[in-house]
Each structure stands twice: as structure tokens, then as C-alpha cells.
Structure 1
Amino acid sequence: MGDSSRDPSLVQNLKGHKKTINALRYLPNQRDLLSCSDDHNLMLWNVSTKDARSFKFSGHTQQVTDLDYTSSRNLIASCSYDKTVRIWEPTVKGSCTQFIAHFSPVRTISLSPTDQQMVTGSNDKSIKLWNLPKKKFLNSFTGHNNWILCARYSIDGKYIVSSADDKTIKVWDPATKECVLTISNAKSSALKLSMHPNGTSIAAAMASGSVRVYDIRTKKLQQHYILHNKANDVCWHPMGKHMLSCGDDGSIKVLDALEGRPIYTLNDLANQFH
């Protein structure tokens, strides 16, 4: 029998948003947590204290769909259905700058590991690359033929991975602006993507409810988990041995990627583990 004291348990219950939460990010200090919501706001939570002190950042006029942060310049980037990208200072005042990024709602945003570039994706079917310090448009990646659902940098910055409502996943080389790999999913679209820390595989949260892991080198499906009614997000643990997924069934699944199986189901209501 394993050590039950190491099993996951609920530590804090954070309340502040009034509508659906669309994205979460831990800051590098592992003390502060960022969230964004359909209520048009971002919140910064200090989860190192029992009362989880929070700050609310308001400015977007429609739902905030995604966010990211810079580790070196201490800035927060967010995107929204209001077609804008905002760059925030994570201070009490929460001042920001904004610019129109696309002609349609912006669904996804990701910052390069160097914090010098930013990639955004939109319902206008385009993925755009930006110079972050100058907030200047650099280039578009074209090839998807429907709404862009997710775009993410790899940890080493060598690739950008994207998914769209055309049921494809694409891997881009930001240096050459070329698509180096296309993965087709005949029955479902990938709502969110997460690249393995070593850059060799992509985890995809599928609208069909499954989580799929694709090997970039062999261009083949590596693992397939049936987990939710709809899988809303997936992410790799920094060590690359485990994944987390969440779904519209209200559960979070912890997956052992080495053994290829789910090991926990976290459910705040039932608090039951598999």
C-alpha cells in the first residue's frame, strides 16, 4: 500500500469570479496564481496565505479567454473576445496597455520563453506573432481553415503548436515561419494543447472528452485516455511524468504518463479517488 498522506487533497477554495474560469497560471514564485473568466476580469491570487488575498484587474469588455505571464519582465498578457490583447503590470493599481490584435475574438495567447515574442490565435483563423516589448506585429502563420482554439510555445521556444476547429493540430517553426507537422483528428478538435517539457510530444484535450498524446518524431498517436464528456484543458507536470486534465464534468484527472493510466480523480463534491 502507498503512503495515503501523499494523496492529493483540497487545500483552498478560491472564490471571486462570477462566471466560467477559462485559464489558470502559476507565477514563477509559486506563490501567486492568475485566473481569467467570462466575467471580463483577471484575478491575481496569493495562495501562500490562508485567506488567499486577491486583486482584480478590470478593463476587457468581453470574456477573457486566455492569459500568460513574463518571468523576466513581470508582466501579464491577456486576450479577449473584445478582439484586444492587454499587457498588465501585476501591481495593486493593475495598469495596462492594450492593442487590437485581430479582426475577431482572440481565443489564445502564449509568450516565448525569452519573453521577447508573443503568439495569438483568433476566430479569424489566423495565428499572429508579435514583438512583445514593442507590441509590434511580426508575422502570420496560415494553414488552419477554421477558428484557432489554442497556440502554445514549447518550453525551449523551438516550436509553436496550434489547434483549430478544423480538427487539426499543427507544429510551426517560428524561425522559418513554416508548418513542420500536421496531425489530423477526423472526429474531434483539440481544445487545448500542452507540449512535453522535452519537446518530443504533445498532449491534446479533445472536444470528444479524451486526452491524446502525439509523438512529434514518429508523427503517431502515443497514448489515448477516455476521461471526460468534454476535455477542457490538459497540462504536463514540469518533470514530464504526469499530466493533469479537466473536463466539463467538473473533475480533474491526474495521469501517470509513464504507466499510461489515470491514477486519481479529483472531485470537490465527491472527493473520491480512482
Structure 2
Amino acid sequence: MSNLLTSRQAEELHKSLIAYLLSTGHSNSAQVLREDLKLPENEFDATTAKKYEGLLEKKWTSVVRLQKKIMDLETRSQQLQSELDNATPSSLAARKNHDPTTWLPRAPARHTLQSHRSPITSVAFHPLFSSLASGSEDCTIKIWDYELGELERTLKSHTKSVLDVDFGGPRGNTLLASCSSDLTIKLWDPAEEYKNIRTLPGHDHSVSSVRFIPSGAAGAPLSGNLLASASRDKTIRIWDVTTGYCLRTLRGHGDWVRSLAPTIDGRWLLSTSSDQTSRMWDLSQPDNNAQKQTFLVHEHVVECCAFAPASAYSHLATLAGLKKPPPASSTNEFLATGGRDKLIKISSANGVCIKTLTGHDNWIRSLVFHPGGKYLLSCSDDKTIRCWDLAQEGKCVRVVEAADHFASCLRWAPSLFKEPAEANGSATNGTSTEAKEQIRCLIACGSVDLNVRVFSA
């Protein structure tokens, strides 16, 4: 014993042994031990016994706890060593240098953002900064830093549920738009700490969707200044965000207009409605001639829609039975719609349904095409995100358990576009001067469980 413990440690152990025996009613054993250790009563009175009482049990339980911790660490160490032993250079490279054109989200989420007090209705990424906006039935909009997973600020001005949010606006002056059951649309300026710079009244019922119309809408002088809104008053309105004026009102739907999706060139607008139709509008035409196509492919409320990017045309042309894909310059060739019939319909611009995707067990709430063009992603009230491979005739290749309640909204972070480098300070001759797309492997999903989840590579 003397080899292992110092005299002070040995004394502490002896006294704690005697105190333990006394506290457990073994007074005879305590007396024998005290005599064996030649410990007089004046050195171990009642006060000393009280001081050392419980010390032995504390030391014992801490040893057991540390032993368990050591065992857990040894198990973890073995797992990591096994991963290292089985890792090949190619598998490590694949993990580090994933291909953005084929990246798909997987559980668990990188961040689960918690602060809203009611279900999340919408999410939107800032086109440049690491900011994510979320709208909720708690009447607020929250701005998050999705890289740190932290709440930056809460925007309060709406008096009823916030139903949709979207970033966009004039070049170099990104704004945030929000719409609400309080019948208004509000514009917020991130450059002025998200000050509410304008409120757009005009709709006669809840405003369910807002989308900035990208620059280049039919060469209009207001390119980049336009915002489209959809409402339960059955109309779609186009606004000038600079002046706040409503420029035009599109009528055609027979019921609540649920969602909107513009093409990247800003010419075409897609809308869905409770009237079980989707409609395509040509914004270069006057109001009475703007409606170009009605899609009658669902048998229930159509909740969401998305135009297919040109990168998906080669896969969708095969589904449509075309010999060659349409030109990439045509932005409205194919679209996807999802509804309460639990179905996703992929249609061509002429109104023909070319594929029906089945698999969700509940209402489909949101659709996004993968920027790489190979996949379509959907989220649903069945709590999942599903990934559909367009190169395999729309086969569902991944199901992500995305929420603990209905998954209500889904957004893919917009791609970044890098200007082509100029050779020797002058424009390159005969080479493309188009900006190179940099796909961001970043998705946000909102849910009725009050959480916003961010999935990233």
C-alpha cells in the first residue's frame, strides 16, 4: 500500500473506510480497523467522521464513471482506426471533392435552426451572403447565418401569418420581400439592417406567394424591379418595387392562387391554384393575352410548381420522347407541379404530362430542380424530402427523413456566377464570355415542427 499511496492519501483512505463502516452501521468492524491502524479516538472524533462520510462512495462512483468513459473512447478510437484502415485515396478524395452536379442532401441536417414559435411556411437564401430568411405563422421573419447556425435578427411588422419570403430585386441592391395573411406585401432592405422600406397593399385576401422576377423580362425598362404576388383573391399582381405601384393584375384562376415560379429570364411565370390547375403566363404580352397555357393534370389543389432548368432538358426530352432536347435559350420548355393528390407531374410547355412521380404519402408542398439538371427534389407532409433521378425515368433514388412533422417548404441556394477571366487583361477571342455557374450544395427545409433545417455538403 505504501508503494502506491502517499502517507496523506493512505490516511485519507483509512479515515474514509472507518467513516463508511460507521455510517453503514458496522461499528464493531470500524472499531477493529481503528485498533489495527492504531488510530486514537482523539484523532477520529464525530466531527472527523462526518467530514469523511460519503468520500469513499464518491471516489468509487467517479472511478466507475471514468472507466465507462475510457471504454467509450476506446470503442470510438477503434471505429476511427477502422475507417482509416479501410479508406482509399479515391474514397477520401470523393468525400472531400464531391461533385456539385450530383450532390444530394442526406440526414442528419447540418444545422437545425430553432426560434420560431409557430409552423414555418417559407425559406429563402440571400443570393450572396450566408443569410437565410424564414417566414412563419408566428407573424415574424427570422434571418439566420446558415454557416454558423445562428439567429441574426427577427423582423416584426406583419400582423398575421407570414406565408412566403423571397430575395431579389434590382442588380446590386438585393431586397427581401414577404407576404402575409394580413393582405400586405412588405419589402425589407438588408443593407439597412433589414429596415421595412415599403408596404404594398392592394390584394383583397391573403397573399400566399411572392417572387422577384429576374432581370431581362422581355426587355422591359423595369427589368429587375418587378415582383409578382399571388393571392387568395384569385389574382396575380405585378409590382414595381422601386415605386411600390401595382403595374398589372392577371386574372384567370377560379380559386386561391397558391404559388408562383418565374423563369430565369423573367419572361414566363407559372402559377398554381386551388382550382386544380396550373397556368403559364407570358409577361411580355398585355394582360388580356398573357395567359398562354393551362395545365389540367391534377385532381386536387395544386400546391407548388417549378420550371426545369436548361441543364435538365436532355433528361426530360427523353421522357417526352423527343429526338433532341430543346435549345437552352428557351426557358419554359418543361415544368413540375405537385399537389394534394400526393403526385408530382412533369409537363411540357404544350400542356402534356410526360411523367407522373408517385411515392409521397401526403400532400406535396414544395419542388426544386437540382441546378445540375439530373434530379428533382420534393418535400411533403409525409415529413420527407424525396430525390427523383430524371436520368432514370424519374426513379426515387433517395428519401431523406427531413422533419418531425409536415415538411412545408424547400429551397436550394441560388448558384453563384463567376465572370470569365480575361486573358492578358483583354477579352478572349472566340471563346465564351458567359459567366460560369458555381452550384452551391446547400438546401433549406422548413417544417410544422417549428424548425428550419439546413442540409449541406
Q: Decide: shared fold, TM above 0.5.
A: yes
Give the one of 56, 74, 84 matched to 2:154: 56
Q: Which has the higher strand share?
A: 1
Could you say if the C-alpha distance between residues 30 and 92 of structure 1 is closer, same or farther in structure 2, counting changes exceeding 3 Å? closer
Q: How far apart are 1:209 and its partner, in Å?
A: 1.3
TM-score (norm 1): 0.91
* Letter of the structure 2 residue corresponding to residue 46 of structure 1: D
* Letter of the structure 1 residue corresponding to residue 167 of structure 2: Y
Which residue in 2 is equivalent to 1:155? 264
Higher relative contact order (CA 8 A, sep 6+): 2
Which residue in 2 is equivalent to 1:188? 300
Q: How far apart are 1:219 and its partner, in Å?
A: 2.4
* Cα offsets for 1:54-97 (capped at 9, x unmatched): 32111100011111111631210010000000000226843102
Alignment map for 1:55-134 (pairs within 5 Å): 55-70=153-168, 72=171, 73-90=173-190, 93-96=193-196, 97-114=198-215, 115-134=224-243
Could you say if the C-alpha distance between residues 29 and 102 of structure 1 is closer, same or farther in structure 2, counting changes exceeding 3 Å? same
Structure 1 unmatched runs, 5+: none
| SS of residue matched to 1:133 | coil
Runs of 4+ residues over 3 Å off in structure 1: 3-7
Q: Equivalent pairs: percent with the same residue?
A: 22
Aligned residues: 267
| SS of residue matched to 2:135 | strand
* Letter of the structure 1 residue corresponding to residue 185 of structure 2: V
* Cα offsets for 1:114-148 (capped at 9, x unmatched): 22111111111111111121111111111111111
Greater Cα radius of gyration, structure 1 or 2 = 2
TM-score (norm 2): 0.55
CA contact (8 A) 1:210 1:228 kept: no
Q: How far apart are 1:174 and its partner, in Å?
A: 0.7
Give the one of 327, 346, 352 matched to 1:213: 346
Q: How far apart are 1:158 and its partner, in Å?
A: 1.5
Could you say if the C-alpha distance between residues 104 and 261 of structure 1 is closer, same or farther in structure 2, counting changes exceeding 3 Å? same
* Letter of the structure 1 residue corresponding to residue 207 of structure 2: V
CA contact (8 A) 1:122 1:149 kept: yes
* Cα offsets for 1:4-23 (capped at 9, x unmatched): 95672421111111111111
Could you say if the C-alpha distance between residues 140 and 247 of structure 1 is closer, same or farther in structure 2, counting changes exceeding 3 Å? same
Give the one of 233, 245, 252 matched to 2:378: 245
CA contact (8 A) 2:206 2:231 kept: yes
Which residue in 1 is equivalent to 2:113? 14
Q: How big is the alpha-carbon RMSD for the aligned residues of Structure 1 and Structure 2?
A: 2.1
Q: Which has the higher helix share?
A: 2
Which residue in 2 is equivalent to 1:179? 291
Aligned partners of 1:229 and 1:11: how far apart in 2? 25
